[in-house]
Amino acid sequence: MNVNENKPLAAVKAVSRLPVPSTVRPKRSRSSENMPLIEKKRIRISSPEQHAVRRSVPASIATTRPKPPVVAALPRTYLAGRASLAPVRHNPPAHVPSAPAVSRRPAPPPTSALKTGPPTAATACTSKKRAPWDLKGQMDDMRDKVSTYKGKVQDLAGENVHLRQTLEQMQSQLALAGAESKELNAKCRTLEAELQTTQQKLEQVLQDAAALRTTVRSQEEQLSIHTHTIAELQEAKCSLTELVGSTEVKLKLADDELSIKRVLAQSLQTEVVSLQEEGVGKDERLHNLEMERRRLHNIIQELKGNIRVFCRVRPLLKSEDSFCMDHIHFPQQDNKSVVLSKTEESHTGRERKEAHKYDFTFDRVFSPESCQDEVFHEISLLVQSALDGYHVCIFAYGQTGSGKTYTMEGPDDVDSETMGMIPRAVRQVFESAEELTAKGWHYTFTANFLEIYNETIRDLLVSKPEKNVEYEIKRVSPTSDELHVTNLRYVSVSSEQEVHKLLRTAKTNRSVAKTILNDRSSRSHSVFQLKIEGRNETRDVKTLSTLSLIDLAGSERLDKSLSKGDRLRETQAINTSLSNLGLVITSLSNKDSHIPYRNSKLTYLLQNSLGGNSKVLMFVNVSPLDENFSESLNSLRFASKVNECVIGTAQANRR
């Protein structure tokens, strides 16, 4: 631009001879000077940025943002134009007030505007070129120009005034806007604080809402459960209602039935009373019949003899196949005879003598074929007597190995068929006692099991006996006939099984002793006693009896056993006690004033069971072996003697 500034002046100097003051000659660019004024105006007005600025002003006024200072907001070119008093036609003042609202970042002025300088007098005259000599014309032109410039200056001054007013307005608006801004800031802060509080509250509310949602969910679950339960309950209620309905119907029917039955019951009650009266009479008759049965039963027993002897010959064992038993015969006519026969040679041995026969008759003879059940059948009435209040004593006598233990207890591998007299008697006692409860009888039982070896007593129910324990036979009291053994174990039993348990214990204890002391069991008496106490409270009757079941020691003779030392003493003791048993029975039979019970422990212990007030049964067990002929003969002779005895009439022990 500066390059072009001096060019018009040079041109003026070159064409004009009139002095032209350099001060009034404005510097103009050649391009600007040559540009028509209207075109310059068009450039300014048509500047799109200016249009944009003007258009944007009203829109900017609407915002609440603080307004920028007017001067700062005006484009530089705009101000520069004014400062240079450029002969540009400005927009009317009416548009100016909107200038303050121009945005802080106005659009850059057009480059053409920057390059445009104010029009010079020379450029104004270019259209009408005066001749160099036409100084007057030139002067007129200059005057026109001056007046034109004056008018412009006036316009600009007016515009300036207007702009100042606008500026003041804008400043006041700015102050207002500042105050408003402060107020708005304060409000904003308040609102921010409120917003913060609200946000906190919102967070709290959200948390609460989350918790509530959880609660709602659980409540919903519970609700669904409850709903389900309610549905079930309703179903149950429906079915119950139906049930109640049907039950009510049934109840009504039952009520009707009940009233009918009440009438029936009344008539039945009357009948019962008459039957009860009848029953009392029948009870009385029944009791009398029971007592009569006992009396008759006793008479039968007495007729059979209060001491009876059964003979039993055992069969040959498998190990005894080589032996024969031709010497024992059982006559066919009855079951009460047994015959022993033996052919004896003469002294010279040349001639054979006739066979000797020894006939024996007993209450019952059992051949080797007889089974345990058959034998027990014959003694069961006697066992029944024990429950009726009679002392009953059953013992087995015979030589060792003749079958005493088998008869009384059974074999080692005992079963229901081979069970001996003791377990069978116990079973019958308990079964009969049970049956008699219907007739008002109640029984209690006490059991003991002992053994007498070499005249000393040992408790078979005690596995490990204490040393130096004395077993003495004594009266229960000085006035009582009842006996008891000191330190002996008396076991209260209430069932057959309990007694069987005791029998097993005794068997074990006996077999232990047998091992320790060379077949001691054969040389000892084993005594099982069951004390039976009965009471009939309605009749005020009591009974007391003892059922004694005894397996005696082997009765072999001293000369045959060739015993020495301890064995001799054992044999002597056995023989003494067995012969004392015979003596007692004989004395009882002879009704002697003195009965030698005290001669042996066995007879002393059994005195009540052997005496007049008891029923005695002796098994004489016989071996089938012919080598035992003489022992068998002795046993049968002893049994015969016993069988001949008649012991006085037994009395039931009733109180």
Ligand X SMILES: Nc1ncnc2c1ncn2[C@@H]1O[C@H](COP(=O)(O)OP(=O)(O)OP(=O)(O)O)[C@@H](O)[C@H]1O
Which residues form the interface with ligand X (CB under 6 A)? 314-315, 317, 398, 400-406, 411, 521-522, 554, 621
Alpha carbon distance 226, 220 (integer Å): 9
Alpha carbon distance 609, 603 (integer Å): 9
Check the CA dihedral 280-285-289-291 and report its sign. Answer: positive
> What's the distance, Cα to Cα, between the start and end of the chain in Å?
169
With respect to ligand X, which residue has the nearer C-beta, 519 or 537? Answer: 519
User: Hey, what's the torsion of the CAs at 411, 415, 420, 421, to 10 degrees?
Assistant: 170
With respect to ligand X, which residue has the nearer C-beta, 262 or 560? Answer: 560
Alpha carbon distance 445, 430 (integer Å): 9
Phi, psi dihedrals of residue 501, rounded to the nearest 5°: -60, -45
With respect to ligand X, which residue has the nearer C-beta, 354 or 369? Answer: 369
Alpha carbon distance 72, 174 (integer Å): 13
With respect to ligand X, which residue has the nearer C-beta, 502 or 622? Answer: 622
400 is in an annotated binding site: yes
- Tell me the closest approach of the beta carbon of residue 362 to ligand X, in angstroms: 16
With respect to ligand X, which residue has the nearer C-beta, 173 or 521? Answer: 521
Alpha carbon distance 649, 109 (integer Å): 167
398 is in an annotated binding site: yes
With respect to ligand X, which residue has the nearer C-beta, 384 or 405? Answer: 405
- Tell me the closest approach of the beta carbon of residue 411 to ligand X, in angstroms: 4
Alpha carbon distance 257, 250 (integer Å): 10
With respect to ligand X, which residue has the nearer C-beta, 369 or 559? Answer: 369
With respect to ligand X, which residue has the nearer C-beta, 118 or 554? Answer: 554
**Distance from chain centroid for Cα 459:** 49
- Tell me the closest approach of the beta carbon of residue 440 to ligand X, in angstroms: 40
- Asked if residue 98 lies in contact with residue 58, where contact means CB atoms within 8 angstroms, the answer is yes
- Tell me the closest approach of the beta carbon of residue 637 to ligand X, in angstroms: 18
- Tell me the closest approach of the beta carbon of residue 398 to ligand X, in angstroms: 6
Question: CB neighbours of 584 closer than 8 A, spacing ≥ 6?
Answer: 595, 596, 597, 599, 603, 607, 610
Which ranges of 388-495 would DSSP assign to H, the alpha helix?
A: 404-408, 421-436
- Asked if residue 119 lies in contact with residue 40, where contact means CB atoms within 8 angstroms, the answer is yes
Residue type, 257: E
Alpha carbon distance 22, 29 (integer Å): 16
With respect to ligand X, which residue has the nearer C-beta, 110 or 398? Answer: 398
Which residue has the CB atom at the shortest distance from ligand X?
403
- Tell me the closest approach of the beta carbon of residue 358 to ligand X, in angstroms: 21
With respect to ligand X, which residue has the nearer C-beta, 448 or 521? Answer: 521
399 is in an annotated binding site: yes
The residue count for the chain? 655
Alpha carbon distance 534, 109 (integer Å): 146
With respect to ligand X, which residue has the nearer C-beta, 113 or 450? Answer: 450
Alpha carbon distance 179, 184 (integer Å): 8
- Asked if residue 506 lies in contact with residue 460, where contact means CB atoms within 8 angstroms, the answer is yes
Largest CA distance in the chain: 229
- Other C-beta atoms within 10 Å of 277: how many? 10
405 is in an annotated binding site: yes
198 is in an annotated binding site: no
- Tell me the closest approach of the beta carbon of residue 335 to ligand X, in angstroms: 15
- Tell me the closest approach of the beta carbon of residue 554 to ligand X, in angstroms: 4
Phi, psi dihedrals of residue 60, rounded to the nearest 5°: -70, -35
- Asked if residue 98 lies in contact with residue 57, where contact means CB atoms within 8 angstroms, the answer is yes
- Tell me the closest approach of the beta carbon of residue 404 to ligand X, in angstroms: 4
With respect to ligand X, which residue has the nearer C-beta, 87 or 401? Answer: 401
Pairing of strands 364-366, 307-313: parallel
With respect to ligand X, which residue has the nearer C-beta, 97 or 398? Answer: 398
- Tell me the closest approach of the beta carbon of residue 384 to ligand X, in angstroms: 24
With respect to ligand X, which residue has the nearer C-beta, 232 or 627? Answer: 627
Phi, psi dihedrals of residue 457, rounded to the nearest 5°: -95, 140
- Tell me the closest approach of the beta carbon of residue 486 to ligand X, in angstroms: 27
Alpha carbon distance 52, 106 (integer Å): 9
- Asked if residue 489 lies in contact with residue 448, where contact means CB atoms within 8 angstroms, the answer is yes
- Tell me the closest approach of the beta carbon of residue 598 to ligand X, in angstroms: 25
197 is in an annotated binding site: no
Alpha carbon distance 610, 591 (integer Å): 13
Question: CB neighbours of 445 closer than 8 A, spacing ≥ 6?
Answer: 429, 430, 433, 492, 493, 494, 499, 530, 531, 532, 533
Pairing of strands 525-536, 441-453: antiparallel
Alpha carbon distance 386, 403 (integer Å): 25
**Distance from chain centroid for Cα 559:** 75
- Tell me the closest approach of the beta carbon of residue 519 to ligand X, in angstroms: 7
- Asked if residue 445 lies in contact with residue 431, where contact means CB atoms within 8 angstroms, the answer is no
Residue type, 468: N
Alpha carbon distance 266, 282 (integer Å): 24
- Tell me the closest approach of the beta carbon of residue 363 to ligand X, in angstroms: 18
Binding positions for ATP: 398-405
Binding positions: 398-405
